[in-house]
Amino acid sequence: MPSVNNFIMVIIDLMTALMGVSMGFLAFLVIGGISGASALIFYPGQANRPKLEKLLLAAFLGFVAALGSSYLGQYFALFQSGQMLEWLSAIFASCLTGCIFTALAK
């Protein structure tokens, strides 16, 4: 028969797992959004400021690229969650996506 301690441990494990997922989501939202928007803003050859729609789209594409590179890298066993290579691949993928979007949006 399950005891109260086992029940409490299950709840703590569930909270830890959910907190890690939400924190990873927020980290990739910030990293990908900033990298994608920065690629649009600092792309050479722009005479005027970008429109808000393009800025938000670049930030969203950067977020999707960061999240995708993290999950694909873990799927193909290139790295584990939280390793430095995961963060570097997320930053690289979001910057590359932002640059490609900016080059094609002109």
Alpha helices in the chain (DSSP H): 4-41, 52-75, 84-105
Asked if pLDDT for residue 5 goes beyond 70, the answer is no
Give yes or no for a contact between 68 and 93, defined as CB atoms under 8 angstroms apart: yes
Please report where in the chains the tokens 């939280």 appear, as a residue. Answer: 82
The per-residue pLDDT for 23 is: 56
pLDDT tens per residue across span 11-50 = 666 666 555 555 577 888 888 889 888 888 887 766 677 7
The per-residue pLDDT for 36 is: 84
Token pair recorded at residue 7 = 């029940």
pTM, 2 dp: 0.74
Please indicate whether residue 49 or residue 98 has the higher confidence score (pLDDT): 98
